Structure 1
Amino acid sequence: MCLKNIYEKIILLLIWIPFLAFSQEIEPIQTDRPDQTETPYLVPKKMFQVENGFSFQKNNANSKTLTLPSSLWKYGVNDNFELRLITEFLIDNNLDSEISGLNPVLVGCKIKIAEEKGIFPKTSFIGHVGLPNVASSKYKNEFTAAEFRFVMQHTFSEKMSFSYNLGSEWDGNSPEATFIYTIATGYSISEKIGSYIEVFGFLPENTTSNHSIDGGITYLINDNFMLDLSSGFGVTKNAPSYYAAFGFSFRM
């Protein structure tokens, strides 16, 4: 009986070793929210991740937008490729009218380009294309919506990082392209609490650019679940007046 028990323990150990090794190697969840600067990190291979955000934005004196919610659905195909799907339910309230519904769904991917090495940042590419017919009737676009950006990050220490994105987007309402930039500094207050401050802006081809500042905090419940809180304000007259948001992200 003793020999049988030993064999059973050895078999159980051999079965669990791969799972224990995986749990030790995997890093805590990395998300593209709550800041505008998306992370170059990909979802680990064969893992599914969802990032949800609820926000209130005051566009100007007569207009506000509620997002209830915005969700980014991600799946790690392999170490270099991630599939992505974005869904947003909006409520747009103007002075004398209100519309609500599903914004055109975006599908896309994130591709790892390079690991951080010396002065060269960790870099990935993100691209999305809108599905104009997968939307509520009031939010369907006249043109094809698309966006892309290169996302980069430098690690200064265990507590501090510097990230930035460069890219362009087409909103589907006009053929005009809009250049995008984001610059963010992240700081880990503790193993569980992170913080950031950020500058970002949109530079359309034929209209005036707008720029904003925001900041926020994150709280890591465990390696696979995180909460976030953020807010920001416009620094140019044509930028949204302010916004506030909270969210939660998980993977499995």
Structure 2
Amino acid sequence: MKSKILFFALFLYSTIFAQEKEIEPIQTDRPDQTETPSLTPKGMLQVETGFSFQKNDVNSKTNLLPSTLWKYGFNENFELRLITEFASEKFNVETITGFNPILVGCKIKIAEENGVFPKTSFIGHVSLPNVASTAFITDYFAPEFRFVMQHTLSEKFSLSYNLGAEWDGFTPEPTFIYTVATGYSITEKLGSYIELFGFAPQNNEANHNFDGGITYLISTNFMLDLSSGFGISENAPDNYFALGFSFRL
């Protein structure tokens, strides 16, 4: 009986190991602000979760405890997405906690990288105004979208960038988004990036930010991350720090 159990355990381990060898290492949309054009493999569930601590200014802070992106690979060209966030917002001595409106959406593959043309995908979400804690309910459905692109510069370097817009659920004015990130593979398991990103409301001044971070690939299907950044324009948040992990099944 013991020999049969041992044989089954070895068979199960070898099967999982073989499956990991057959697929590319996990690609995530965190920890940077620049989303990846890579999709979750067909039939797999990918979970990307993390905790962020942001100082907006002297009087206010915004923490996400945690923020989680749930992704399912529907096929090679389409990924289903769900975003859940538990937020804590502090202004002076008052603190509000609860769930932000849930976002549902998808990622759609547009093109593979071909010479000077980048690997490209489209990401779209819409937030559900009433699927939130009372303090965070919005007035309207709030869409957001991005075109996400990536160039392979060498075996170790990559260049990624996003362009898009989002709405806050209260006003009809959009906020335009840009991100530019350079990734560098220090080793096969250890990666790093630096990034410039910003938000440009239609009727207000844009804010610009700089950040950087590292990722560590525990296995083909499990990754840890650590990042930090700061505002480089006067109206941007002062700084933030984030840590998290991602896995797929």
Shift of 1:97: 1.1
In 1: Cα distance, 2:158 partner to 2:177 partner: 20
Q: Deviations over 1:25-70 (max 9, x none)?
A: 3100000000000000000000000000101000000000111000
Shift of 1:144: 1.6
In 1: Cα distance, 2:101 partner to 2:235 partner: 24
The residue number in structure 2 matching 1:240 is: 237
Shift of 1:175: 1.4
The residue number in structure 1 matching 2:192 is: 195
Is 1:24 the counterpart of 2:47? The answer is no
Is 1:119 the counterpart of 2:101? The answer is no
Shift of 1:173: 2.4
Shift of 1:145: 1.1
The residue number in structure 1 matching 2:180 is: 183
1:130 is matched with which residue: 118, 127, 134?
A: 127
The residue number in structure 1 matching 2:136 is: 139
Runs of 4+ off more than 6 Å: 17-21
The residue number in structure 2 matching 1:10 is: none
What TM-score comes out, normalization by structure 2 length? 0.92
Residue identity matched to 2:117: F
The residue number in structure 1 matching 2:220 is: 223
Is 1:169 the counterpart of 2:166? The answer is yes
Is 1:49 the counterpart of 2:46? The answer is yes
In 2: Cα distance, 1:173 partner to 1:188 partner: 41
Q: Secondary structure at the match of 2:241?
A: strand
Residue identity matched to 1:158: E
- Does the 8 Å contact 2:20/2:221 carry over to 1? no
Question: Identity over aligned residues, as a percent?
Answer: 70
What TM-score comes out, normalization by structure 1 length? 0.91
Residue identity matched to 1:209: A
Q: Secondary structure at the match of 2:135?
A: helix
Where does the alignment leave 5 or more consecutive residues of structure 1 unmatched?
1-12
Q: How many aligned residue pairs are there?
A: 238
Residue identity matched to 2:21: Q
Shift of 1:22: 4.7
Shift of 1:146: 1.0
- Does the 8 Å contact 1:143/1:175 carry over to 2? no
Q: CA separation of 1:66/1:150 partners in 2, compared to 1, >3 Å: closer, same or farther?
A: same
1:77 is matched with which residue: 58, 74, 79?
A: 74
In 1: Cα distance, 2:78 partner to 2:138 partner: 28
Write out aligned runs for 1:148-163 (5 A). Answer: 148-163=145-160
